[in-house]
Structure formats: C-alpha cells, structure tokens
Homo-oligomer: A and B are copies of this chain.
Amino acid sequence: MAAPSNRPETRVERKERTRRAILDAALTLCEDSSLVALSLRQVAKEVGIVPTAFYRHFESLQDLGLALVEESFVSLHAVLREVRRSDPTFEQNIDTSVETLLDHVERHHAHFLFITRERLAGPPAVRAAIKREIDLAERELATDLEWLVTSMGASPWSPDDWKALSNLFVRAMVSTVEAVLVAGGDTRAQQEVAERTRTQLRLVLVGALNWESRPAEPALRASEA
C-alpha cells in the first residue's frame, strides 16, 4: 500500500500505512500468545513508533482487537452469502461452502488464527464481537436453510428447530476452521478435515430432510422397540 514512487506519500496514506503496520504487528505478536498477553509497548516497538503514537490509530489494544475482528468477518460474510445464493442444490452448496470457507481461511490465515484464539480467550469485548459475528452468520443461514428445506416440501418446523439446525452447521464450520488451523501446513490433514466436514454436513442434511416426515421422532422410538 506504499505510495507510487513518482509522488510523495500523502499524510492520509502514511497514517493508513502505520495503521496497517500496527494491525499486522499485533497479528504477528499474537501468533503464539494472545491479545491478553500483549502489551501496547511491544506492538509499538515492533512497528517502530513511540508508544504514544499508537493512540493516533487505536484507543486501546482492545480497540485494535475489534478492528481485526471486523476485517476478518466483513469479507467472510460476503463470500459465504455469495455461495449460498448461487447454488441451487444442497450437495453443491455443501461442497462450495466448505471449499470457499477453507480458501478464505488460507488467504487470511493470520486473521483466523487470531479469531480462533481470541474467540474464547480474548478480552471480553473482543470475545463479544466475535460471538456477534458468528450469531449473525447463524441467523442468515437459518433463513436460507428454512427456504431450502421447505422448498423441498418439508412441513413447517418450529423456529427453535431452525435455529438448532443453523447453529449445528455454523458450529461444524467453526470446528473445521479450528481443525484446519491446528493441522498447520499439513495439506493432507487439511483435506481430511474438509472431507470429514462434507460428510458431517451431509449427515445433518439427511437428518433435516427426514426430520419433517416424522411426527414425533419415530427414528428414535424405533430404537426402543
């Protein structure tokens, strides 16, 4: 994002460049630690600015964390929305969603390592922001799933059942992202995780498609016979 060499960098460009450098430094420094273990002084040192200069860009480390959460999710929501609206079938939807998610995570590797770590271990405001983003994805998916499943002739479900289904999907995706990041650069392990996720989402869909046709969970009752 450096200014073209044929003209001097403007003040706005320089400010944006420093802001970016602070965000990147925080991502790097957090890699084997956590935002709660980070000091503003460390970040400033890594960027090469005096600690007080940090405050021209962010109010606090927490504020910086919130900016990282935002950039991680803005593009993810957009690509997932795109996928869900383009594919008419479940099978293609599952394959494309898993692929798109993992591709996105690979391209924004440091961001997703950050999200995965801070989701449960970060400062309270950062944890809350990540929860809001995941809840948003769940609500959007619930609407889509309702449309897809009912368009296939399923009888109406209770709102709680739609939420449970959507939550199960999104949690499976969150677990997948975690497992892929834990696998590190091991592409074979990553592929196994992706394949497992596809099987799981299909299993859930088979459950969902057979859920409506059963008045009171006879599949479970059968086990008691």
Contact = CB atoms under 8 A, between A and B. Distances in A.
A96 interface: no
A12 interface: no
Interface string A6-37: 00000000000000000000000000111011
Contact of A164 (B32, B200, B224): B200
A201 to B, nearest CB: 9
A187 interface: no
Classify chain A: how many residues form its interface, as a range.
35 or more
A160 B90 CA distance: 21
Looking at A164, A167, A203, A211, the one whose CB has the most chain B CB atoms below 10 A away is A203
If over half of A's interface residues share one DSSP class (helix, strand or loop), that class is named, otherwise mixed; here it is helix
A45 to B, nearest CB: 18
Given A171-B171, A195-B160, A89 B220 contact: yes
Interface string A195-225: 1100110111111111100100101111110
B207 A205 contact: yes
